[in-house]
Structure 1
Amino acid sequence: MDNDNANIARVAFCVGVVAAVLQGRRRNRRRLWSREWLSRRYAAGSMNLLYRELETEDPESFTNFLRMDNNFRELLELVSPLISKRDTILRECISAKHRLAVTLRFLATGESYKSLQYSTRIGHNTIYLFVPQVCRAIYEVLKENFLKMPRSVDEWEEIAREFQEKWNFPNCIGALDGKHIHFRSSRADGSFYFNYKGSHSIVLLALVDARYKFLYVDVGVFRESTLAEALRQNSLHIPPNIALPGRVLGVPHVIVADDAFPLQYNIMKPYPDRGLSLQKRNFNYRFSRARRTSENAFGILANRFRILLNCINLSVEKVEIVTLACIVLHNFLRSKKDANYLPQGLVDRVMSDGRVIPGVWREGPILDGQLVRQGGNRHNNNARAIRDEFFEYFVTDGILPLGNGM
């Protein structure tokens, strides 16, 4: 009997110890989940209440706060099915509206997660988890309609018509450029993303139309991109060769790019700066009018989504999805023709006398655009002959005043 009582006592003691341990774990876990100042995120003074007040009382400030106005509601409807969570018996979930608002604020300002924690009353670890998820959702719901290459001859011809009307450059189907997006690389990445400035970055390669919208983006160098492969395979449905206005010789439709890119059949770059004649300076000036569309597109993008101007403290995979989210948001807002997104004077203007007035985005920090050479200096005679035909057009039938300082 004594042995039985002893065994019962031992079992009871063990059960008590286990129960105490489990209770302690539950208490610790509950304490981590319910910090009092975080739990008051819906109370006065939190960001959630602030942006709700701005939305109803000060639309202009609301637009500046999240970098969009009434389009916020439309975007929320699109992404909600992908980012909504359910409440549990342990805690109330963060709504899709709040997740989207915090993510847009992160993209607009480049604030750290810890900084956002104090203005939103949402733990930085939680923000760390959901911001990339929301960025991926934004990209997934917008990419089909707001980031797409032309798929027919007619669509390419419409782009060429706009370059001719807006920038006096015929047969142009896009401006190609690349920018560095800096981030803090992990040790596992080694020197793979190490750039010429001694930091780590990915190269965002982009093709832009005449209205500052991105037609194509890729992460990496041009020669390894799907765009370069499509040009080699002639699979883009580019319109057939056509003579420039007032000329006879048929020439291809071209993409304009800076000197870092190769001179090819469908890619044109300016004449080298050394020893230029006045006529070749005029060609380079006319060339720069069309190529400025890509510079200004990146300028608008970084001016509105300033996360891209910072060294982003995320893994390379998350940096890519953050960047792609900014791209599709840019195109989404440009398609709405929102004057608040593209205010007067933000981008470069070309005056009737040929002068170029720089946009105000150039006065602040800009994306690092110096790239390693995307192709060799060698180019075939056919590519040079195409550039020379454009040169002849710009100094005869298509002549315009030479811009001051160009």
Structure 2
Amino acid sequence: MDVVRKCVGATDGLFVRMIKPSAKEVAEPNLYYNGHKKGFGMNFQAVCDAQYRITAWKMNCPGSQNDRTAFNFSGFDKLLAGLPEGHFVVGDAAYGASERVVVPFPGTSLSASQDACNYYVSQCRMAIEQTYGILVRRWGILWRPMEVRIEKFEHVVNAVVRLHNFCRDRKVDVPTENTGSAIPPPEVAFDDDGLISSDYFETVPVRTGRPVKDQAKASKPREAIRKELEVAGLMRPEHNIARSHKRAS
């Protein structure tokens, strides 16, 4: 049953590493430092489709900024405003709920239908994680800080994105072995066969976490999904609940 049929894409951010910019290049070099990633970089925001093609992207925020801030500066809101009525993209809890961006219901006391909605929406959102996994797996230049001047940094990333889409359109296989000495960043895990590890995709929220501002706002498309699941009697699969509890224990 396709209950998220009006979803046109999934959105998320990716930290793209760079060498520390000089004070001659930017006014505040330390704004590009991300304490969680322990390095310098920029926040890359993108939307992907079900074929893992990147359909929209923007990189105009330093790495210290969170996804919500970077998304707000991306201009995606104007792009999404042009979608047909009821159509939307899905994002994680870092984004605010709106008529064009569907995020999980926040809180720990969710109804069965709200929890089911979170599961099905998050299944759609996995597409962007898989897209980033494919992107990083294929292009080793993303495995380490880029040694280019900041004015050329965005041009390099734009080229990588266009080459990624070129490969997706022509169904070019993703490399399964490392061909160089670079080591993939820790946030992108691969299994023994060189494929993207399923652990990298398991980000479905299960009645946990503190909501961000506006995550609880009314969202017509999210409510429509919840109601349809409630009427159909669909819930989060038991195997997913068991797996999530096992990982949390």
Same fold (TM over 0.5): yes
Q: Does the 8 A contact of 1:176 with 1:206 survive in 2?
A: yes
Contact 1:264 1:380 (8 Å CA) reproduced = no
Shift of residue 380, structure 1, vs aligned partner: 8.3
Aligned residue for 2:34? 195
Which of 112, 124, 127 is 1:293 aligned to?
Answer: 127
Q: 1:315 aligns with which of 149, 153, 167?
A: 149
Partner of residue 10 from structure 2, selected from 171, 175, 193? 175
Structure-to-structure mapping, 1:75-224, within 5 angstroms? 164=2, 169-188=4-23, 189=26, 190-197=29-36, 198-219=38-59, 220=61, 221-224=70-73
Structure 2 Cα separation of the partners of residues 386 and 365 of structure 1 = 27
Name the Cα RMSD after superposition. Answer: 3.0
- Residue identity matched to 2:214: R
When residues 278 and 227 of structure 1 are mapped into structure 2, their CA distance, relative to the original with a 3 A threshold, is same
Identity, in percent, stands at 25
Contact 2:94 2:212 in 1 (8 A): no
In structure 2, the residue matched to 1:239 is 84
CA distance change for structure 1 residues 336 and 283 in 2, over 3 Å: closer, same or farther? same
Unmatched 5+ stretches in structure 2: 62-69, 177-193, 202-210, 242-249
| 8 Å Cα contact 1:208/1:293 also seen in 2 | yes
- Higher RCO, Cα 8 Å, sep 6+: 2
Residue 391 of structure 1: how far off its partner (Å):
0.7
Alignment check: 8 A CA contact 2:113 2:235 kept: no
Please state how far the C-alpha of 1:341 moved relative to its aligned partner: 3.1
Q: How many residues align?
A: 201
TM-score (norm 1): 0.45
**Structure ranking higher in helix proportion:** 1
Shift of 1:228: 2.0
Task: State the one-letter code of the partner of 2:50.
Answer: A
Cα 1:207/1:192, change in 2 over 3 Å: same
* C-alpha contact 1:283 1:391 (8 A) present in aligned 2: yes
Q: Distance in 1 between matches of 2:200 and 2:87?
A: 34
- Aligned to 2:158, the other structure's residue is in SS state helix
Is the contact made by 1:184 and 1:313 (CA closer than 8 Å) also made in structure 2? yes
- Following TM superposition, the consecutive aligned residue runs of length 4 or more in structure 1 with deviations greater than 6 angstroms are 363-366
Residue in structure 2 matching 1:263, options 73, 92, 97: 97
Distance 1:361 1:302 in 2: 10
Residues 377-396 of structure 1: CA distance to partner in whole angstroms, max 9, x if unpaired?
A: 13686x33442221111232
The CA distance in 2 between the partners of 1:186 and 1:224, in whole Å, is 21
**Contact 1:299–1:362 (CA under 8 A) maintained in structure 2:** no
Alignment of 1:3-82 (within 5 A): none
